[in-house]
């Protein structure tokens, strides 16, 4: 059985200028794999991630034919049941550790808290577990870092703390929402390596939300391409070269290459028919 | 302690010194600009001109202004604030005598303000746009914009005249005056220490109404500020992180969002408390509360400049001290200010 099932997910924002249909009929299933959701800004990829955890603002309307973690329905379950899902079964790595870590709580306490929410363990045991987790994300001096505050550590270190915090309850699914885009290029790969190593070791499924097709094709198993709130392509990462949808092909052709010299990069022409067509082929 | 922290402390002390110097200068200037004849206040309207001349010279008023200023600074720095005309005793003694009444009133009021205002603000922020939020905003707007003397009079009519729940003027019923030992000057504590429960309840009945009315003002101010501080924090990314972890809404609010507004709250609570110590003038008048506000008003009306200037200086000192205190607490609660 799939870990996560999404069938015809629709998300509508109510704004002052009327309703905005941000996600249209998105369907996919997640197995034990690394699934990438790629798309440009505003394509609805982050909104899908938030909808799975039911973290959209109250004015947002989320509808779906089915949205389920294993056989538990996420749309109709109580807020209390949802809280046992969050963190324990599905967690999420946010984009920028500068904003996503609490500035007045020490790094170690934030990691330990993620564990203590779901397990009845002593403060000391949680501290030990957090220290172990810091070691696992390749922080060399965990005792020292444990008592530091977010403003005292670098962005790359912050994101490793974030990973530690989300992996420590050993969830089944991690949604990573652009986890490396706010980081310095030189540390992006390190952070990505740590993330992939940990999820493989702990057998965690990954939903990797990104705008970087080049990046995801290197380490993800499958790619969903979103355009204007719809999934226009669902394809194996290794098959991306043979993508069928003109938008995906356009994106692939726009990638600069070191090997082939080209006079200009092609400009993508957007066909209004893409919007009407909808759904993955 | 590191070198930079020593420097920071030195700078803070320097700022305080400059502030106090500015304060002394301001009070001196105010003293000279006031359309009150300080000599007349001493000798009275019936004094003959030779007496007037003599006092005029004794007060140094025949000297150039900068010499007067120098004398004034010397006197202030040596702690000599002169005598109050009204009571004939040193101004410092007067202030120390009336202070406990005001501190007691202001403290009860700020406790009400903090105890009700902050939870109310948090509630409104977490129920934004719903009925509770609108009601809170309406009530706090009322409390914030209605003059205390008006609420005071209405309160007296309703709770004293009609319902007879509250005590009338003063700090305690006449029957209990002097019936208990004065340990601290705070009636609520002294009556308890003396074991005189009846006197305690009398003091409680007397302080309840003025403290609640002053408190209502603090509730409104602190409630509105708390609400906007909380709203700002609740829209931050780290709040989403806390929810992703599976924390209950209660933990998200108190362990994460509230922890981030403690510092801001401390600053405004300190300022509100300072405002209560100084600004209970109106409520002290309405309730005949023998405190600092009433002393200052009486002295002003009498043209008793020694008392007025010392009082103004004292208020300034209170604010400088409260600011210093909130600075210290700041570094205690916000790790970002420590490194």
Residue B2 is predicted with a pLDDT of 65
Q: Name the pLDDT band for A280 (thresholds 50, 70, 90).
A: very low
Instruction: Give A21-33 pLDDT, tens digit per residue.
Output: 899 999 999 999 9
Percent of chain A with pLDDT over 70: 97
Of B236, B246, B259, the CB nearest to A83: B246
Sign of CA dihedral B162, B166, B167, B168: negative
Residue A86 contacts B, CB cutoff 8 Å: yes
Q: Where is A108: in which H helix or E strand?
A: helix A107-116
Are the beta carbons of B244 and A91 separated by less than 8 Å?
yes
Instruction: Give A48-107 pLDDT, tens digit per residue.
Output: 999 999 998 888 999 999 999 999 999 999 999 999 999 999 999 999 999 999 999 999
Residue B339 is predicted with a pLDDT of 58
Of A104, A113, A151, the CB nearest to B259: A104
| Residue matched to tokens 């922890």 | B259
Residue A99 contacts B, CB cutoff 8 Å: yes
Q: Where is A26: in which H helix or E strand?
A: strand A18-30
Residue B335 contacts A, CB cutoff 8 Å: yes
Residue B194 is predicted with a pLDDT of 79
Cα separation, A278 vs A227, in Å, equals: 9
Set of chain B residues whose Cβ sits within 8 Å of the Cβ of A117: 245-247, 251
Chain B interface, mutation test: which of A102, A106, A174, most B Cβ atoms within 10 Å? A102
Residue B334 contacts A, CB cutoff 8 Å: yes
Residue A276 is predicted with a pLDDT of 60
Are the beta carbons of B333 and A104 separated by less than 8 Å?
yes
Q: Name the pLDDT band for A264 (thresholds 50, 70, 90).
A: confident
Calculate how close chain A gets to B260, using CA atoms only, in Å: 6
Are the beta carbons of A94 and B240 separated by less than 8 Å?
yes
Beta partners for A60? A13
Are the beta carbons of A99 and B247 separated by less than 8 Å?
no
User: pLDDT averaged over chain B?
Assistant: 85
pLDDT tens for chain B, 339 residues: list them. Answer: 567 777 877 888 888 889 888 988 888 888 777 777 777 777 777 778 888 888 888 777 788 888 888 888 888 888 888 888 778 888 888 888 888 889 989 999 999 999 999 999 999 999 998 899 999 999 989 888 888 788 888 888 888 778 877 767 778 776 677 767 777 778 888 888 877 888 888 888 888 888 888 888 899 999 999 999 999 999 999 999 999 999 999 999 999 999 999 988 988 998 899 888 876 778 888 888 888 888 888 888 887 888 888 888 888 888 888 888 888 888 888 888 775
Is residue B260 within 8 A of residue B241, CB to CB? The reply is no
Is residue A67 within 8 A of residue A73, CB to CB? The reply is yes
Calculate how close chain B gets to A281, using CA atoms only, in Å: 33
Residue B259 contacts A, CB cutoff 8 Å: yes
Residue B130 contacts A, CB cutoff 8 Å: no
Calculate how close chain B gets to A82, using CA atoms only, in Å: 8
Cα separation, A272 vs B21, in Å, equals: 73
Residue B250 contacts A, CB cutoff 8 Å: no
Residue B247 contacts A, CB cutoff 8 Å: yes
- For A212, the 3-state DSSP assignment is coil
Instruction: Give A109-140 pLDDT, tens digit per residue.
Output: 999 999 999 999 999 999 999 999 999 999 99
Calculate how close chain A gets to B332, using CA atoms only, in Å: 11
Residue B228 contacts A, CB cutoff 8 Å: no
Percent of chain A with pLDDT over 90: 68
DSSP string, B197-213: HHHHHHHHHHHHHHHHH
Set of chain A residues whose Cβ sits within 8 Å of the Cβ of B241: 94, 100-102, 162, 165
Residue B232 is predicted with a pLDDT of 95
Are the beta carbons of B237 and A55 separated by less than 8 Å?
no
Of A88, A100, A152, the CB nearest to B241: A100
Q: A residues 129-188 near B, CB within 8 Å?
A: 149, 151-152, 162, 165-166, 169
pTM of the model: 0.83
- Other Cβ atoms within 10 Å of B325 Cβ, number: 14
Question: Rounded to 5 degrees, what are φ and ψ at A118?
Answer: -105, -15
- For B138, the 3-state DSSP assignment is helix
Sign of CA dihedral B6, B8, B14, B16: negative
Cα separation, A58 vs A104, in Å, equals: 27
Q: Is the pLDDT of residue A6 over 90?
A: yes
Residue A281 is predicted with a pLDDT of 40
């Amino acid at each position: 059985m799939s870990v996560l099932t999404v069938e015809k997910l629709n998300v509508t924002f109510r704004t002052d200028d009327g309703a905005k249909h941000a996600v249209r009929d998105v369907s996919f299933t997640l197995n034990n794999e690394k699934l990438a959701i790629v798309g440009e800004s505003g394509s609805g990829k982050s909104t899908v991630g938030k909808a799975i955890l039911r973290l959209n603002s109250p004015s947002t309307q989320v509808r779906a034919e089915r949205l389920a973690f294993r056989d538990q329905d996420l749309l109709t379950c109580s807020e209390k049941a949802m809280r046992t899902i969050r963190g324990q079964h599905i967690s999420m790595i946010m984009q920028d550790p500068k904003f996503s870590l609490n500035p007045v709580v020490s790094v170690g306490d934030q990691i330990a808290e993620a564990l203590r929410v779901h397990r009845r363990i002593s403060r000391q045991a949680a501290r030990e577990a957090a220290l172990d987790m810091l070691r696992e994300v390749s922080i060399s001096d965990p005792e020292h870092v444990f008592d530091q505050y977010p403003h005292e550590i670098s962005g790359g270190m912050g994101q490793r703390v974030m990973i530690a915090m989300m992996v420590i309850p050993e969830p089944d699914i991690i949604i990573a929402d652009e986890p490396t885009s706010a980081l310095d290029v030189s540390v992006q790969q390190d952070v990505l390596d740590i993330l992939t190593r940990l999820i493989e070791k702990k057998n965690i499924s990954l939903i990797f939300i990104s705008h970087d097709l080049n990046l995801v094709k290197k380490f993800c198993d499958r790619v969903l391409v979103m355009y204007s709130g719809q999934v226009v392509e669902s394809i194996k990462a290794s098959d991306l070269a043979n993508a069928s949808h003109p938008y995906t092909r356009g994106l692939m052709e726009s990638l600069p290459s070191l090997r082939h010299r080209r006079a200009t990069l092609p400009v993508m022409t957007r066909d209004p028919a893409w919007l009407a067509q909808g759904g993955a082929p | 302690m590191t070198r930079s922290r020593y420097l920071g402390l030195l700078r803070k002390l320097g700022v305080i010194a400059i502030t106090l110097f500015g304060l002394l200068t301001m009070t001196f200037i105010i003293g000279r600009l006031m359309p009150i004849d300080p000599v007349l206040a001493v000798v009275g309207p019936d004094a003959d001109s030779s007496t007037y001349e003599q006092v005029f010279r004794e007060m140094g008023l025949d000297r150039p202004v900068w010499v007067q200023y120098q004398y004034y600074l010397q006197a202030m720095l040596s702690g000599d604030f002169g005598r109050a005309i009204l009571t004939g005793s040193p101004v410092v003694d007067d202030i120390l005598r009336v202070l406990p009444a005001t501190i007691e009133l202001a403290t009860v009021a700020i406790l009400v303000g903090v105890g009700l205002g902050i939870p109310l603000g948090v509630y409104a922020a977490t129920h934004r746009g719903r009925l509770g939020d609108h009601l809170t905003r309406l009530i706090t707007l009322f409390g914030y914009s209605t003059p205390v003397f008006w609420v005071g009079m209405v309160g007296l009519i309703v709770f004293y005249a009609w319902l007879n729940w509250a005590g009338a003027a003063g700090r305690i019923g006449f029957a209990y005056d002097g019936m208990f030992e004065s340990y601290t000057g705070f009636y609520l504590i002294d009556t308890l220490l003396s074991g005189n429960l009846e006197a305690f309840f009398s003091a409680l009945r007397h302080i309840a109404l003025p403290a609640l009315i002053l408190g209502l003002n603090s509730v409104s101010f602190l409630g509105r500020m708390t609400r906007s501080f909380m709203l700002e924090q609740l829209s931050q990314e780290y709040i989403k992180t806390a929810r992703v972890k599976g924390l209950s809404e209660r933990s998200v609010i108190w362990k994460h969002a509230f922890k981030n507004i403690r510092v801001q709250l401390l600053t405004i609570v300190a300022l509100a408390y300072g405002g209560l110590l100084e600004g209970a003038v109106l409520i002290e008048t309405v309730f005949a509360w023998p405190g600092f506000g009433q002393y200052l008003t009486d002295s002003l009306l009498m043209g008793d400049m020694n008392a007025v200037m010392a009082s103004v200086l004292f208020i300034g000192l209170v604010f400088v001290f409260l600011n210093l205190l909130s600075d210290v607490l700041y570094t205690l609660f916000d790790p970002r200010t420590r490194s």
